[in-house]
Amino acid sequence: MKKKIEVPKKIRLRFPPSPTGLLHIGNARTILFNYLFAKKMGGETVLRIEDTDTERSKLEYVQNIIDELHWLGLDWNEGPDIGGKFGPYKQSQRTDIYKRYLEQLLAEKKAYYCNCNAEELEAKRQDQQSRGLAPKYDGTCRDKNNTSGVIRLRVPSKKVVFVDLIRGEIESDAGLMGDIVIARHIDSALYHFAVVVDDYEMQISHIIRGEDHIANTPKHILLQEALGFPKLEYAHLPLMLNADKSKMSKRAGDVAVSDYHQAGYLPEALINFMVLLGWNPGTEQEIFSLKELEKEFSLEKVQKSGAVFNVQKLDFMNGLYIRQKSVPALTKLCASFLPEHNLPAKTVEKIVASCQGRMKKLSDITELADFFLKEKLDYDTALLAWDKMNREQVKDALLLCDKILRGLEKWEVAAIQEVLEKAAGENKGQIFWPFRIALSGKKASAPAPEIAEILGKEKTLQRIQDAIDKK
């Protein structure tokens, strides 16, 4: 059974992405859960860049992580001051701290230098596997008193048990692990050692991370025990899965937060979508603001099973948030997706308003509104025909629209709608369909009177004439 979540005196969590690539959507989901738990519990958060992998870590990835977290609104409340904002802690700048603790373990004989070469280790690993044994280091260098080489932790043969806040009790046999490497050398701590030291130094109370880290937790507990550190609380989140139930990979599709940012998803929609990947509020409600989630979130309602990333649901949710935006606010958000133009601001707002109901992403405005910004339209003339209208019927309908609208003085949606409805009588489709296609060139668009008002009288009449000429 799950462990009851007790609130210690000081709740502190960390956001620990590695800068070996753009911020992954799965890491963002994990950071979101850490953020919400800290907010719900009145705790604190720090951003820690885990860049012990110096060969793959890049500064541009660090900046991407910072930028996308700010965009999502997942800000942390502790870190080095950078231009009046909290920056991240970086493991690459904490080498002296790790060195001090490595020296402690070596002095206490809880760790030792190992100079076995890679060829020897591989040969032993293959031999163990051939005999049906779990491959592990055989302790060759344990009692040699070496003064150089990699540093290994002396792993005792014992059971390691911890209670996961989501999954309940988990037991692991440390005897199958072997003495693990914790540093390349005294000045180069590896991931497992660095995170344990950092969590202690930063007074972290809870570790919330993906279930792929479950196997790492016993190693971290053993290191905590060797260093005399207090135990921490652990919670392992379900994996995020592709539609085919495979694990989301950096090599499969759009998996970076910046991919969704650049495609025109709204941060509030992405937050709302991500939280439902593994967390169930226990009600029918699916739409939550970040502020609501800060109050409603709890680890008790996090599921164990993997969560399928359904992009259709994300599109639906994003469209919902788009429709909730005021037109001026949405117009500002759409600005970078519209080509250059010289249209007045109010006209652009009308264009955006006409497309708002059909937008799933901000980037949709590029295609939905393109006909407003063109001088000439290029489309298949067959589109002009409503139902089974022939060429002459289409032409007659367009000529009627031209005649009626040329004499219209009040150029507004209601007036345009009224005069055309009156002329069309029972045959509204045979008038409004060719008229709308003539103005937009699209099978689906805003209603014709709405388009006409935005285009203005002169341009509307010109497009009707262009359509007549096409016939």
Please give the order of strands across the beta sheet that includes 181-185: 111-114, 150-153, 181-185, 188-189
**Terminal Cα distance for the chain, rounded:** 74
Q: Is 283 strand, coil or helix?
A: coil
Beta bridge partners of 164: 168, 234
Q: How many CB atoms lie within 10 A of CB 157?
A: 9
CB 114 within 8 A of CB 76: no
DSSP 248: P
Could you tell me what percentage of the chain is helix, strand and coil, using 3-state DSSP and rounding each to the nearest 5? 50, 15, 40
Backbone angles phi, psi at 311, to 5 degrees: -65, -25
- What burial class does residue 116 get, using C-beta atoms within 10 Å of its C-beta: 0-12 exposed, 13-18 middle, 19+ buried? middle
* C-alpha triplet 119, 122, 127: angle, nearest 5°: 125
The number of beta carbons lying within 10 Å of the beta carbon of residue 93 is 11
Catalytic site residue 85? no
Alpha-carbon distance values, 424 to 384, 419, 449, 451, 468 (Å)? 16, 9, 14, 18, 18
Of 109, 158, 247, 250, the catalytic one is 250
Active site residues: 250
